[in-house]
Chain A
Amino acid sequence: MNAVAWLTQGLEAVVALAAAPALLGWVNQCRAWLQNRRAPSLWQPYGTLRKLLHKEVLIAENASPLFRLAPYVTFGAMVLAAGIIPSMGTRLPLVASADAIALVGLFAAARMFMALAAMDVGTAFGTLGARREMMVGFLAEPALLMVILVASLTSSSTALPAITEALVSGHLGLSPSLAFSAVAFILVLLAENARIPVDNPATHLELTMIHEATLLEYSGRHLALMEWAAQLKLFNYVCIGFALFLPWGVAVGRIGPVGLLVAAPALALKLTAAGAGLALIETLSAKMRVMRIPEFLATAFLFAVLGLLVHVLLGA
């Protein structure tokens, strides 16, 4: 563990922090184009974050310290996760420190803090949002774990860098099991990041909102951190997808800051494509009723298990 490696790691985290709002901006821009609307600027999310950071923080009288702590914990967890995911290089200190299952646990911890904070003040909407958020998480997690399991079967390791390296060096071919789990992963990604068809991030309609309901009591820099954490979460999920299914362009082996420069354009390219794809999916699908969400996530789980079964049967 030398200084160069940590420097590289730090740079990677900074890139993630900087790119996450841009990814959301890009998705919003694509959606606007697809829907024949005038697109907001790509930098719109940065503006929002800056505005929120300068605003005064208002906190409900009966809020506990947990309420103040939650934004920092959530944000911190997401930054840590960004470090763990091999988005640009596989031989980085943090990347090697945790495997995919720990990563899922990290996401779960962040979710739990968010849900607790939402219930903390005791408003109806907060509790409702927390409940729905936990339901989505409860259903999405098994599917996500199953997806990771399929990917780890192909490389015999649950560590993300090992999976990525196996895929990069592996033979390029049709793999039905990976295709199935990729579909499952996309469904999980949509649900976990509160995208259409599970949740609509653009509205505050009390009947249907999930994620936004948990943030209603936050303001100022707390809200900024929460929003930024959500953007990071989307970025992280997309990068997990790349690590599992589209690892080309990730630097394999020991790299320094210069190596990042080589890997960065590939990542940018993939993010551009993924953002456009996400916008396309969101435009083509309609928001579903909350009670249909279990069905949606069961489908994700089904795909993941099918991938697993196909792998066991056809591959072995």
Chain B
Amino acid sequence: MALLLLLLLPVAGAAVLGVIGAHRRAPEVNALISVGTFLAACALTARVIHHGTVLLGDEQFFIDPFNVFLVALTAFVGMTTALFSRPYMRVELDHGRLSAGRLRLYHSMYQLFMFTMLLALTTNNMGLMWVAMEGATLSTVLLVTLYRTPGSLEAGWKYFILCGVGIAQALFGTILLYVAAGKVLGAQGMTALLWTHLDAVKSQLEPTVLALAFVFLLIGYGTKVGLVPLHSWLPDAHAEGPTPISAVLSGLLLNVALYAVVRSKVLVQGALHSQLPSQMLMGFGLLSVVLASLLLWRQRDIKRLFAYSSIEHMGIATFAFGMGGAIATFAALLHMTVHSLTKSSIFFTAGHAAQKAGSQAIEQIRGLITLSPTVGWGLMLGSLAILGVPPFGVFTSEFLILTTAMREQPWATPILLAALAVAFAAILSKVQPMVFGETTVRRLAHPPALLPVFAHLAIVLLLGVYIPPYLAEWYRAAAHLIGGP
């Protein structure tokens, strides 16, 4: 029931907003639907906490500790982003960057995007997961090009083609999985693609075919995670799309794509007797961390800067999943959570900052703190949090990952540390003048919605200081599912 609500609300929302999305009160409707979705996610979470893993709808849906925490996170960030976009999109409308019709498209597609992500997370069917992931791309392409500027058209085109190609590879990987599973499960039909069934027989699946399938799946979904060298769509799409979309792309879509990669990895690792999947994840992860942190120096656009930071953090999480083992996986899950929260809050403040300055160029944004202390402090604290400064949760997860790496993969530790140091210097040196100093910004007609920013940062801070026992239990259960004991 909760699941039904969880999936139906966004679909209904997309339909309703498709009709009334241009109405004066549409942003409130959008936020309301997102709140409802979040409540449904809470109910679902409560159920999983009480009853453990559940299979629903003729085994087509499957909720375990791993995906339920992502469902809750997705619904939560979806809700706060909807709250944030309420004043933000109004300002954009006032500035004439949008027409009413495009606002309707925005609202409708936003809900559709939420639906595809939730579907990708909750489905038990690897094929359906693919369909949902492709749907997520398609629903956001038109959001990236919402402003119809030459830059946004280019970004949308790149996004469409790269992710389209990537996702085609993932489809091929899914087919290979189906072929291998059909051999063992013997069924021409639905069960051969159900993750739970595949998981049960994973040790009998043909290793070579699964290794091949994994390569295709990793390339496919890895494109969406933004792993280097498949990342080039990501900064463009983040910089050119509206800020709420940058926030959900970074905070949610990347997570969901990584979820797909990890699900595939669990299956393949079970079938293979080698370390190939782990090594591939570690390699891609490390490459992403290093390259992204170097590219951070060259960024002149505030949203591109943080987009590259997203690539870096996804690389860290991928690396941690690659290492495997209980602690690293635990840390990776924690990292996904805190990155998602921190990064979306940074995009919220960055969006407001850009609106106030009238430009996304870092050089044009100066002295935020004089005019709007809340936005300024939000950006500063968010940046510190994402850089892994101690009291915040990112510190905890990165610390865990680094210590595990020191034990398990000593060679990688100096590389990781160096990359993190480079990223630290790059981001801090660019954020500092934006927050302090002579101001260039002006006041806006609609007060910014800063509740989401500080709510996110507060949770991140909390997770850094104290992880509630039920949450820790939850992560541990998920880590057990993914990485073994």
Contact, chains A and B (beta carbon distance below 8 A): no
Taking Cβ atoms with an 8 Å cutoff, the residues of A that contact B are none
Residues on B facing A (Cβ under 8 Å): none
